[in-house]
Structure 1
Amino acid sequence: MDIVSSVFSFDLPLGPSTTEWPRTVYTMYRSSGVEGLSLEPVSVAPAVINVVAVPWREKMAAARIVVVPSRAIEEMKVVNGTIYLAANHYPLPLNISVAIGKEVFETQTLQVVQPYSIQELDVRAGRLELVARLNGSPALGAVVEVIDQKNDTLTMTADARGSTSFLLPAGSYRLIANLGNETREAQFAIRYGQDLPLSIEFGSAPSQTLSYSLAIAGVIGAGASIWVWGRLIRGGRRGNLASR
């Protein structure tokens, strides 16, 4: 691009390998009809921290990640479980908290050793693996809310396979799933390191098998009681007649 100013800015993505990160800017210019080439070092010192749930090493994309401010941090942004920052000196100690809603469930200190580095912060969690189905087929677009005991909520949408996954601190939760005008609810508890599968069905009435079984058992039980009492009454009458 042609630049007519002595000051300019540009954006470049930070790839998965630090060797791909920009360290030098090459500029070509023309002055008084003469072309020249300038080589300048990039004046920022970036680092990346991925906040991951163990043992799966998945990024805590839905969690709220809070970093205590520091005068050494020049720029910082948190996106989908990753902390991007530029600092004016390293090593850099970071105080990082991970929360679901307002509730902080883990706080750690991480030492960022050097610029142009990618590090991971391990966070204990459990994983809820939810599958939503519509009449037996994947329920694409089902909206799933997981609510903790303090009413903090995480919301995700089921993918083309009807699947969604939540990384959560250990505890008890309530789940609400919506698809169109249908709603399903469930309650569950999860432990650290646990993979918890859960399936929700839309498009058909919730199963009444247990209720029907209990009702049938009640009828059978009542019938058996009537039969037993009938035998006792008849037996009692025969005994009375015999005694006469």
Structure 2
Amino acid sequence: MPTRRFFTANQLKAIALVCMLVDHLWATLVPGREWMTCIGRIAFPIFAFELAQGCIHTHDLRGYAKRLALLAVVSEVPFDMVAGGTYFYPWHQNVAWTLLAGLWACHCADRCRTAATLPAKLPPLLGLLAALLLPGLLLTDYGTAGVVMILLFWLTRGGGWRCCAAQAAGLFVICQYMLIGQVYLVGPFEIQQECFALLALPLLWLYNGQHGRKSKPLQYAAYAFYPVHLLVLGVLFMAR
């Protein structure tokens, strides 16, 4: 783990939002520039890391879940416009549903950890199983792999070189074997394009544990960025 850490949570989120925008520009208005979607792979690990941190530190888990649920509902039509070029596209759901499932998975895993008896562990275990399976069944963005990634960052929240090594190994396995995309030949090996997500790790390892400036307008703007930029890109994409 680096000894000099200077990225706040707000700064990491800003980096993730920019990377996401670059990726969505590639998917809609600027096709053919593959480097843009490679940069886009950096976004989700940062969101997964920040959600895991939020699950640990929030004093209102229910409120956090409500905000994610509202974001998921509001974002669905703009996401459909980008993903399918139509106002209703049932074959792919937006990433906020995956984040909501990841939050529930972390909560269930924590309840399972603290439950004193096996019967008490059963309900959170079932909740954890549902959180893992439903995103895959409902075809949410990143699906089950996204929830596993969030759990990875929740489980490795302690810091230290062992946690860094576990994050690197776990993220590689998720990107290489759980996600499907463009494949690059590196010598005799086939490497998934999703493995560019590992470039997010040095940024996460420079996280200083601070939230940064706390502001309600800033918080709402960060939430609004996802559906608003999708709506703008979707309108332009469908108008072409």
Provide TM-score, normalisation by structure 2. 0.20
Provide TM-score, normalisation by structure 1. 0.20
Report which of the two has the higher share of strand. 1
Find the structure with the greater CA-based Rg: 1
